[in-house]
Each structure stands twice: as structure tokens, then as C-alpha cells.
Amino acid sequence: MRRKIMGMNYLRLAEVFAQPKKNKTVSVRGWVRTFRANRFIALNDGSTQQNLQCVVDFENTEQALLKKINSGAAVQITGKLVESMGSGQSVEVLVEQLNVVGEADPELYPIQPKKHSFEFLREKAHLRVRTATFSAVMRIRSVLSFAIHQFFQEKGFCYVHTPIITGSDAEGAGEMFRVSTLDAKNPPLDDEGAVDYKQDFFGKETHLTVSGQLEGETYAQGLGNIYTFGPTFRAENSNTSRHLAEFWMIEPEMAFYELEDNMNLAEAFIKYILEYILGKCEKDLEFLDQRLANEEKTKPQNERSPMGLIEKIKFVVENDFKRVSYTEAIDVLRNCKPNKKKRFEYLIDEWGADLQSEHERYLVEKHFNAPVILYDYPAKIKAFYMRLNEDEKTVRAMDILFPGIGEIVGGSQREERLEVLEKKIETLGIDPEELWWYLDLRRFGSTPHSGFGLGFERLVLFATGMNNIRDVIPFPRTPQNASF
Ligand code: ATP
Ligand code: MN
């Protein structure tokens, strides 16, 4: 892939390293990561983790030009590609021509060649992708997205774009962002003094979607197997390292699938995409593996993770996920040490308790030592659309729990029986009018069917070994923060 600009063929660094044209003249361009000893430029153009060392002949280069070669500057370089004497690189460029395209004032450019904290870099989110860590994370994010489409497309699933603005709030009551064009200072009021949304843009209250599932189900009941992959919005005020207000979710939905088919698909899906990056993102993963190893060294011995990043990914790819019912999990948790010694923040004493992240992580990291698929949850703690089991107490839900993360997938077999669903909606006080179209699916050609939602950023967290979800999306949206 070559671009001809101003009479020159520029190579991307990934191409330079893939097939080094030794002793040939090459032209490259990118940004200066560092400039050492007035001689060595570490150049990066974003196409690969590796920097290209470009050696400047400083004796024959004007002082004024040397002064412009600073971290962050954009440069074009032409020179001979030769075998490198230095360690850590196979080839380097002996600079013959150097053009500073865009300067970066070293007094002002915030990304200096030293270790910056991730907190600091979040405030410079527009520049952080020029660091080794963030560019690696974002390349992996891109390859993962592609692998997701490839997995489903190979299996004949249809990619469906469900709406982002939704008029149904059955699922996310209280957790939704309102979409409105009404004058916030002076909204029209109805006879009872409440805001009159009939006069709003859509003639009713509308919100940003919290999930494409309900609409996804309608398409599965015609196309068979579908998936969505789009933005999702939740106004939950959870300021954790696992929650964003805007995140991306993959939601497949399959007609005629029962819970076990659903689990099989979810497990095969996760393994496929992780295996895909092991093959395609080797350099980036090695870099992040090393980064994580260095970080682990700063922790006390007993808090260190026993596995490195690549090792963890391989472990997930190569081993069966443990399938455990909620009831079995509660038994484990009730009798475990941190529960008995009251070290959990939320103690587990009864069947029916909702699981918190600390419990999920105990099961995965301490007890089973593997990803866990928990299924058959109490109906009371799960959504209205999940299929009721014969015991009438549990529903065919399944969550996948991952080490270091907790819940990464939430899914279920859906309730396909009209009467059972209607009864459920009634007991929960949901207005059936709101869901008339969803209930229609159970009136006309209803099938047992299933689906799940995988939070894309939680997957990227796992795949990159990063700790905070704010660092795996370009511009994170969280409570009190929508900068950039
Ligand atoms: P949690 O209990 O962690 O808040 P949830 O039960 O609300 O998750 P679901 O409604 O089942 O999650 O959503 C499906 C998936 O979407 C989750 O398994 C998770 O991977 C992801 N997810 C949910 N909420 C968020 C969020 N605020 N930010 C990022 N990802 C999320
Ligand atoms: Mn949640």
C-alpha cells in the first residue's frame, strides 16, 4: 500500500519492517517519539508498535533544523535503509533528507519522553494515542471489531442496525439519557403541570438506547440469526473502572436457540476473537504484556497476577469455561472464607442475593480459576424478558464472568410464551401498551430464542491488560466528564 505524494513513495512503518528493503532508499513519515544525542530519531507513524530509528548526520545538518526535531513533531524522512548496529531493531534509516512538516514546541507539548500516568493522559485524550500504550490498545480495539464482524459473517448472521433513539423505556427505567428539543428553561406544561412531551420533537418522551435487544429480537424472528454492534448509553451513576456512560455492545439474537446453544455460541465467539488477535496483534500484545508485567512488579507479591497478559488470553482460548448454576455459586460463596470472615462488602447469606463484582471475581479468580458461565438466576434479580424455568423461581439467564473484570456478557433465553410474558409484565407494573410490538412477536410465529450482550470495552480491557475502562475507548464519557 503506497501513497504517492509530492513525487515520493512513502512507506508505512509496518511495511518497512515486514519486508525491509535493505540498502534501498526509502521515504517515511510520522511523528518523532524521541530525539537522542542530536542523532537518533525514534519515528512512529501509528501503523505498528515498533519505532523506526532514523540516524541524522548532525555534523552536516543545520543547527536550526536540528532544533525543530522534538518529541511530537511531524516529519518526512528519506534515506537509505540499512541493517542496524543498535540493539532492539533490525533496520534503521540513514537520513539524507529531513523535512519538519509540523513542529511541536517542547515547552508546550505535553507528551514528553517519560512515564506519564494514565490519569494525566486522560486529560490529554486528544494526544494520548501518540503514546506506545494507547496506540497499541487502539489498534487491538480495531482488530477486535473486525474479528467480531468476521465471526458472525462467517456464520451467516445478519448485521442489524437497531435505533439509537428509542421511544420505549421498558428496559432501562431511570438509567436513560433523555433526547429532547424542548426549551430546558421553559418547557411546555400539560394540564397537570408536568412537562408536555407531546410537544417535543417526536411527540413523546424519547431516550438514547440502553440496549438493542428488544429490536434485535424482532429481526431475529425473520432473519433467523442477527447481531448488532453499536453504541449504548447508560446514565447509571456508577463511577467504577468497569462502567462508561457511552459504550459499545455486541448483541446477537438467535431464533430457535435455547440457553445451551446460547452459551455455546458466546463461548465460541469470545475464543474466536481472542485467538484472532493472538495471530494478528503479536507485537502490540507483547508490548502490553511487558507493560503489565512491569506494573505487576510494583505490587506486593500476594496481589500479583499469576499469569501474564498473553498467557491469560491463551488460557481463555484453550480452556472450557466453567458452567455453574446460580444455586451452586451461592453455595460456594456462602461457605467461602471472605464471606465467613466478613471480608466481602456485601455478605452472602441467602439464595436470591444479587451478585456483586467482588463475588463474581471471587468465583472466577479464586474458586474456579477460569472464566465462568453462571446460569439459572433467580427471576427476581433479572429482567422481565428472560424465560421462566419449570421451578417458577429461576430464569434461563446466563452471565459470563471474566478474571479481573467480572461480568463481560449478560444473556438469556427469552420468554417466548405470550401468557407467561404478559403475566410477568403485569406483576412488574410495566404498561403492555409500551411493548405491543414486542408482544406481537409472541403472537405470530413465536419461537424459543436467545441472545446475549457483550460489552465491547470490557473485552478490550481483558485483551489489553489495561485496568480502567476509560483507557480503552478514545474519548470516555463518565459522570461529570464529556470533554473532547
Ligand atoms: P453490570 O452489572 O456490570 O453493570 P449489567 O448487568 O448492567 O452489567 P447488561 O445489562 O447485562 O449489564 O449488559 C450487557 C453487557 O454490557 C455487560 O455484560 C457488560 O459487559 C456491558 N456493560 C453493561 N453496562 C456497562 C457500562 N456502563 N459500561 C461498559 N460496559 C457495560
Ligand atoms: Mn449495570
Q: What is the pLDDT along the chain (484 residues), one digit of tens a residue?
A: 555 555 568 999 999 999 999 999 999 999 999 999 999 999 999 999 999 999 999 999 999 999 999 999 999 999 999 999 877 778 999 999 999 999 999 999 999 988 999 999 999 999 999 999 999 999 999 999 999 999 999 999 999 999 999 988 666 667 999 999 999 999 999 999 999 999 999 999 999 999 999 999 999 999 999 999 999 999 988 889 999 999 999 999 999 999 999 999 999 999 999 999 999 999 999 999 999 999 999 999 888 888 999 999 999 999 999 999 999 999 999 999 999 999 999 999 999 999 999 999 999 999 999 999 999 999 999 999 999 999 999 999 999 999 989 999 999 999 999 999 999 999 999 999 989 999 999 999 999 999 999 999 999 999 999 999 999 999 999 999 999 9
Residues sharing a CB contact under 8 Å with residue 102, sequence separation 6 or more, in sequence order: 73, 74
Angle, in degrees to the nearest 10, between helices 282-297 and 259-280: 90
Atom index in ligand 1 nearest the CA of residue 408 equals 20
Ligand 2 centre from 314 Cα, in Å? 28
Residue nearest ligand 1's atom 18 by CA: 409
Q: What are phi and psi of 126, to 5 degrees?
A: -80, -15
Point out the ligand nearest to the CA of residue 411.
1
Phi, psi of 48 (to 5 degrees): -155, 160
Q: Which CATH superfamily is domain 13-113 in?
A: Nucleic acid-binding proteins (2.40.50.140)
Helix (H, G, I), strand (E, B) or coil at 86: coil
pLDDT of residue 441: 97
CA of 383 to the centre of ligand 1 (A): 13
Q: What CATH code would you report for 130-175+210-471?
A: 3.30.930.10
What residue's CA is closest to ligand 1, atom 12? 410
Whether the Cβ atoms of residue 209 and residue 239 lie closer than 8 Å to each other: no
Question: What is the CB < 6 Å shell around ligand 1?
Answer: 234, 242-244, 247, 249, 407-410, 453-455, 457-458
Instruction: Estimate the crossing angle of helix 436-443 against helix 418-427, to 10 degrees.
Output: 150
Give, in order, the Cα–Cα distances in Å from 395 to each of 24, 284, 353, 360, 365: 66, 41, 14, 19, 25
Report d(CA 26, CA 20) in Å as an integer: 10
Q: Quote the CA–CA distance of 281 and 287 in Å, as a whole number.
A: 10
* Residue nearest atom 24 in ligand 1 by C-alpha distance: 243
- Retrieve residue 359's grid coordinates: 463475588
The residue whose CA is least distant from atom 16 of ligand 1 is 455
Q: Residue ranges of the domains in the chain? A: 13-113, 130-175+210-471
- Cα 193 to ligand 2 centroid, rounded to whole Å: 33
The ligand 1 atom at the shortest distance from the C-alpha of residue 458 is 20
10 Å Cβ neighbour count for 250? 23
- Do 130-175+210-471 and 13-113 have the same topology in CATH? no
Would you state the pLDDT for residue 172?
63
Helix/strand/coil (H, E, C) string of 119-141?
Answer: HHHHCCCCCHHHCHHHHHHHHHH
Which of the ligands is closest to the CA of residue 399?
1
Q: Out of 364, 407, 456, give the residue to mutate to test ligand 1, the one with the largest number of ligand atoms within 8 Å of its CB.
A: 407
User: Ligand 1 atom closest to Cα of 234?
Assistant: 27
Mutate to test the pocket of ligand 1, among 148, 176, 243 (most ligand atoms within 8 A of CB): 243
| Amino acid 86: pLDDT | 77
Give the separation between CA 410 and CA 408, rounded to whole angstroms: 7
